[in-house]
Amino acid sequence: MNRNLTGLLIGLVGAGFTVGAYSQTMMSTTQCLTVGLLILVFGLIVKEGFLSL
């Protein structure tokens, strides 16, 4: 799988966490937003080629 597709898939997971922050009850809203944003940053790092999977 190429870098762009991998970065996109990781970004979609992060966006899902971020958007779902207000509708779930397992984590606090702040924790869910933080996890989502960290996943988005991780996807960006993969997409830009600083880290390969």
Residue 43 lies in a domain: yes
Residue 18 lies in a domain: yes
- Region of 27 on the Ramachandran plot (φ > 0 left; ψ -120 to 50 alpha; else beta): beta
22-27 long-range Cβ contacts below 8 angstroms, 24+ apart: none
**CA 36 – CA 42 distance, rounded (Å):** 10
Residue 53 lies in a domain: no
Identity at 30, one-letter amino acid code: T
Residue 21 lies in a domain: yes
**CA 33 – CA 15 distance, rounded (Å):** 9
pLDDT at 1 over 80: no
pLDDT at 53 over 80: no
Counting the structural domains of the chain, the total is 1
Residue 27 lies in a domain: yes
What is the residue range of 13's domain?
Answer: 3-48
Identity at 13, one-letter amino acid code: V
Q: What confidence score (pLDDT) does residue 18 get?
A: 85
Q: What confidence score (pLDDT) does residue 13 get?
A: 92
